[in-house]
Amino acid sequence: MATYIEQISRTFNEFLLIPNLTHKDCIPDNVSLKTPITRYKRDSKQKFEINLPFASAIMQSVSDDVMAVSLAQRGGISFIYGSQSIEKQCDMVSRVKKYKAGFVVSKCNLTVEHTLKDVLNLKEKTGHSTCVITHDGTENGELMGIVTSKDYRLTRHSLGEKVKDFMTPMSQLICGEVGITLSQANDLIWDNKLNCLPIIDNQKKLHYLVFRKDYSEHKKNPLANLDQHKRYIVGAGINTRDYRERVPALLGAGVDILCIDSSDGFTEWQKETLQYIKKEYGTKVKVGAGNIVDKEGFLYLAQAGADFVKVGIGGGSICITREQKGIGRGQATALKEVVEARDKLYKETDMYIPICSDGGIVHDNHITLALAMGADFVMMGRYFARFDESPGKKMNINGKHVKEYWAEGSNRARNWQRYDLGGEDKLSFEEGVDSYVPYAGSLRDNMISSVYKIKSTMCNCGATTIKELHNKARITLVSENSIYEGSAHDVELKNRNINID
């Protein structure tokens, strides 16, 4: 007969942290969220670490090169989605590695033949206020002009008016030349009272934009994750189908770490993929695997050579694997069992294999709970999909701003490569949905709030590092009444939009 697991499958929402003694020096400013993300031997100084335990999910609607740069600047890491051609994925990785702080690749580009309506639509889609006009509408085309809100008035210009009739033309622009330093570019901006400085080559082709608002951006990012050449660190997702071609191409593009993207990682296909990569490229190539939900799955991938293991099946906000297939496990229960297996393996072998908790994060406090339960970092999709930096389109639905967010298991993503079942090259049914998430603004502003909550909670637990939190955290189950009691109740909330004199 079938094996029954009597333990109840629980979620993060069913637990609370119990405070420990908070010492006077245990304040948010003294908390470090640096964490290892690949395996290492006990007491080894050779650790691959990131400065914040945040990873963006391997999804079309979450992790492209723009997200990768923004998250690396803040201290986290992105894994650029693999459900695209090898060439396109490598191009995204290359753009991250070539990115220069303060030098922005334009994402809002049109031609002179486009109209004011096109400008407004593109600005709504990208969230950018500066639209670059090139001869072919590409980010590296010959620069023809620039359009900002100062170039038109909706009350005076028709939506059908051509861009060439109201843009600021190239002849009136002050530009920098490729090779200029950020300091020199900022001097030009300030000396000429500019908001934006295009950087072009001797053929007038656009390379970058430098903005006044980004003048001190590098000073705002003391936690930026950089490699030995001072380039941003970036990861990439791979599958178990074309890894023999994809992996060398990604390594050539400069990728720092890989991760096998699959809805179920407890498979022989993942073992073969891991063993092939380690045999061909050695231990210098770091690759994570998953997803799994129990100790058997963890040990299988750990022994196969995984540098980190992702935990979680069916807990994502847009995942319907549990509904469709009846498989999965509550994220908190899965994490607890895998952490116990990881710690036992570490004690026996001196080899520490980081755990990534993937899915089940609804509120910021769930991030702290995941870390307290033993995760080294968390991977999130919905959290990042809400921001300006995500690839999803920003839209106005029923008067509310939202961003598109779709699952890799949805028909829209058409990512059949992530299902290690050896079947046909198609999706037979969906394991994810196509949806919207409330638009939340910039990644930076939201992460500042989330990080401060995590640090503050860690102080309540008497911990100033993630490892200390692993060892000191005290966690309790809560009842439905406790959950109800823990939120605002038995009062009528004031309308926060009402001004009271």
List the catalytic residues. Answer: 319, 418
Lookup result for tokens 């895998």 = 338
Residues 438/441/444/450 CA torsion (nearest 10 deg): -40
d(C-alpha 173, C-alpha 146), whole Å: 8
Identify which of 266, 379, 389 has the alpha carbon closest to the alpha carbon of residue 315: 379
Give the other-Cβ count within 10 Å of 204's Cβ: 15
d(CA 212, CA 189): 7
* Overall size of the chain counted in residues: 501
> Does residue 256 sit in helix, strand or coil?
coil
- Which candidate, 460, 338, 84, places its Cα nearest to that of 236? 84
DSSP 49: E
Map 383-439 to HEC letters.
Answer: HHHCECCCCCCEEEECCEEEEEEECCCCCCCCCHHHCCCCCCCCCCCCCECEEEEEC
State how beta strands 351-352 and 196-200 pair: unpaired
CA dist 321 and 313 (Å) reads: 8
CA-based torsion, 104, 107, 108, 110: positive or negative: positive
